[in-house]
């Protein structure tokens, strides 16, 4: 089945992925393309609509990103957002100027009034809040355009040329701060572009399975299974497509969360693939003995993982295909055109020469994380794996401050398990994007059973984020934190103090090391 397609043309905007995600949430397939993409390539993709992203530049400067005006001659509906709207105006003969006394720059939440006769705002409230972020403003409209939205300071909050199906918003409809933004995008996609919404994970799974079977034929494929969401979904998809022709190698480095290795193994026990679990905890711990510097920990674990993988892969023999859990944000962030090479090098780097594969299979490379989870559900993957909390490759090694010992690993596993259990009981597990415990290297005095203790301080961390590039600390209710604290101190030996990290990213990072 060929999906209807919408293109997001990126002019360097910080929300390029978010726009694409919003389009996908409307069950419409889309791809992000650079503004440098040749017009012939865009025409060949036969898009139902085009969305121009925002960007940090001023469109009237010589070195600002622009496309040839042929983009406006394709007969395709276009929605320009922020810089994208200014590029449309500029390219079609209008005028863009720097903010001045009469049309000032706007940033943040802004009250706007909409012309609900416009298809872009049809069925919406006439007044609501949008998210503005612009220094320049539209001074003169091109021929055939009219204003369909305004704020107190911006007479051209949104514009349209309905005959040509060109629309522009000075604000960002893709962000949650714009109250009716999702519906505005829906109006553009369905009422202007005529999309039907044919993008579902069930249909994607059927298509992917068929294409994988055709590609692999009677060959063999190899997957390094981390137990994370991406590799687990990739494994499930390949299992349905080629069954025993796939071998999954799961390296348990002994730094997983409590019972996690067993859960991963159980999830794939009856999958029909050759599942190999390598219990290499002692091997990794011996390499990490006495190491305290976090970057050194990461390098040791990364290299040792490859060595273990090499040892196991030798036992398999010739492999035709290597499977990777590359997802669409990896492709976008790696840069158009070079994405496959960059990502392949990152994931395959260090593999031995004897793994003589014909090609790399990346069945998730066009999916966002939320779509990967939806695909996992559609494939029947265990929900514990589908909704598994993001987990760094080095595992608990970078959540234990200082040196790593078996005793510290056990302490953190038990404490972290209690924290995750109570978050789930409070039904917060789908609302907090990442939450975990950190065993600090700090000890402090406490009192237990009328006796003095001198034990570790445990830090709890919870964040909310849409892209993991920035994050805010989660406002976990005090009663939940209290329950977690009481349980950990009473049930886990060698912890006598609990603290909660209330730092956002930036200035902090999500992980501690």
Q: Enumerate the active-site residues.
A: 82, 172, 174
Query: Tokens representing 89?
Result: 């105006």
**Residues near 113 by Cβ (< 8 Å), separated by ≥ 6?**
126, 127, 149, 150, 151
User: CA dist 248 to 239, 241, 312, Å?
Assistant: 10, 14, 10
**Residues near 29 by Cβ (< 8 Å), separated by ≥ 6?**
3, 4, 5, 6, 198, 199
Query: Tokens representing 113?
Result: 């009034």
Burial tier of 131 (Cβ tally within 10 Å: 0-12, 13-18, 19+)? buried
CB 512 within 8 A of CB 398: yes
Residue 362 backbone zone (phi > 0: left; psi -120 to 50: alpha; other: beta): beta
Q: Where are the alpha helices (DSSP H) in 48-107?
A: 83-91
* Phi, psi (rounded to 5 degrees) for 254: 80, 5
What is the helix (H) or strand (E) element at residue 98, kind and residue range?
Answer: strand 95-98
User: CA dist 102 to 4, 138, 155, 411, Å?
Assistant: 43, 12, 10, 63
Q: Where are the alpha helices (DSSP H) in 217-350?
A: 229-242, 260-267, 281-288, 294-313, 328-334, 339-348
* Helix, strand or coil, per DSSP, at residue 52: strand
CA gap 213, 246 in Å, rounded: 12
Question: CA nearest 301: which of 400, 441, 413?
Answer: 400
CA gap 366, 179 in Å, rounded: 28
CA gap 25, 2 in Å, rounded: 18
Query: What letter would DSSP give residue 142?
Result: P
**Residues near 421 by Cβ (< 8 Å), separated by ≥ 6?**
none
């Amino acid at each position: 089945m060929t999906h209807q397609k919408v293109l997001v043309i990126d002019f360097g905007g910080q929300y390029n992925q978010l726009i694409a995600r919003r389009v996908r949430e409307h069950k419409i397939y889309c791809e992000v393309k650079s503004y440098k993409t040749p017009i012939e390539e865009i025409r060949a993709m036969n898009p139902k609509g085009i969305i121009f992203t925002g960007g940090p530049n001023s469109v009237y400067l010589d070195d600002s990103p622009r496309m040839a005006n042929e983009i406006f001659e394709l007969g395709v509906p276009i929605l320009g957002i922020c810089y994208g709207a200014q590029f449309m105006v500029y390219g079609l003969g209008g005028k863009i100027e720097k903010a001045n006394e009469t049309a000032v720059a706007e940033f943040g939440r802004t009250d706007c009034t909409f012309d609900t006769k416009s298809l872009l705002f049809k069925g919406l409230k006439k007044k609501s809040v949008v998210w503005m972020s612009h220094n320049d403003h539209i001074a003169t409209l091109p021929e055939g355009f009219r204003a369909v939205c305004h704020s107190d300071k911006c007479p051209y909050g949104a514009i349209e040329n309905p005959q040509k199906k060109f629309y522009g918003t000075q604000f960002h409809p893709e962000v949650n701060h714009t109250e009716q933004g999702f519906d505005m995008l829906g109006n553009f996609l369905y009422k202007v572009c005529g999309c039907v919404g044919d993008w579902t994970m069930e249909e994607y799974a059927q298509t992917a399975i068929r294409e994988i079977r055709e590609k692999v034929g009677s060959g063999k494929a190899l997957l390094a299974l981390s137990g994370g969401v991406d590799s687990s979904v990739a494994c499930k998809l390949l299992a349905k497509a080629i069954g025993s022709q796939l071998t999954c190698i799961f390296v348990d480095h002994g730094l997983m969360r409590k019972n996690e290795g067993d859960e991963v193994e159980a999830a794939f026990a009856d999958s029909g693939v050759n599942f190999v679990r390598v219990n290499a905890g002692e091997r990794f711990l011996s390499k990490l003995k006495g190491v305290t510097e976090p970057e050194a920990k990461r390098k040791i674990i990364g290299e040792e993982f490859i060595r273990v993988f090499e040892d196991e892969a030798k036992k398999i023999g010739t492999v035709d295909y290597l499977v990777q859990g590359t997802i669409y944000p990896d492709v976008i962030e790696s840069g158009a055109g070079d994405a496959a090479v960059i990502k392949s090098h990152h994931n395959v780097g260090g593999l031995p020469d004897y793994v003589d594969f014909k090609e790399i299979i990346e069945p998730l490379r066009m999916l966002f994380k939320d779509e990967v989870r939806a695909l996992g559900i559609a494939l029947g993957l265990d929900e514990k794996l589908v909704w598994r909390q993001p987990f760094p490759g080095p595992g608990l090694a970078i959540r234990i401050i200082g040196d790593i010992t078996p005793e510290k690993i056990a302490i953190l596993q038990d404490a972290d398990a209690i924290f995750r259990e109570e978050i789930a009981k409070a039904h917060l597990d789908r609302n907090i994007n990442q939450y975990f415990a950190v065993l600090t290297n700090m000890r402090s005095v406490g009192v237990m059973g009328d006796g003095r203790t001198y034990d570790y301080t445990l830090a709890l961390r919870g964040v909310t984020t849409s892209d993991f590039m920035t994050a805010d600390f989660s406002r976990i209710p005090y009663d939940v934190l209290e329950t977690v604290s009481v349980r950990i101190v009473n049930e886990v030996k060698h912890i006598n103090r609990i603290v909660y990290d209330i730092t956002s990213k930036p200035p902090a990072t999500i992980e501690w090391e």
